[in-house]
Amino acid sequence: MLTVQDVAVDLEARRCWRAGVEVTLARKEFDLLAVLIQRAGEIVTRAELMEQVWQTTFWTSSKTIDVHLGWVRRKLGDDPRRPRLITTVRGRGLRFEQGPPAGESTAARQLEAPH
């Protein structure tokens, strides 16, 4: 079981939870999340994602990763305008953050949290 922030992933059972609530992911969504969370804190390039998730070295569509990433973010409740879990590092790739974005205070997170 891998746990980063409040996301837990069981790679063998192919199951995922956010804050203790199970999140149902499609096969490729799970594969994408698994690659990112296994390398939490590291930038994973789009080429690496295409190879590891889609088992290809060529781009079937430039939007494939973006579309699947959008679905994963939505299912995990990660705001794509201000992501806290999976961030895009422009020109380099994607990173599953090990903690909340730098400079973000606990009080600010609590104010934005749904009650």
Express each pLDDT in 39-76 by its tens digit.
999 999 999 999 999 988 776 666 889 999 999 999 99
Cα 14 → chain centroid: 15
Give the pLDDT band (50/70/90) at residue 101: low
Residue 113: its pLDDT value, please?
47
Determine the Cα–Cα distance for residues 58 and 47; give it in Å rounded to an integer. 8
- Distances, alpha carbon 52 to alpha carbons 32, 44, 48, 107, in Å: 8, 10, 6, 38
Report in angstroms the alpha-carbon separations of 84 from 25, 27, 88, 105, 115: 19, 23, 10, 13, 18
Model pLDDT, residue 75: 98
Model confidence at 38, pLDDT cuts 50, 70, 90, reads: very high
pLDDT reading at 87 higher than 90: yes
- Among left, alpha and beta (phi > 0; psi -120 to 50; other), residue 20 is left
* Nearest alpha-carbon partner for 18 in 3, 28, 32, 31: 3
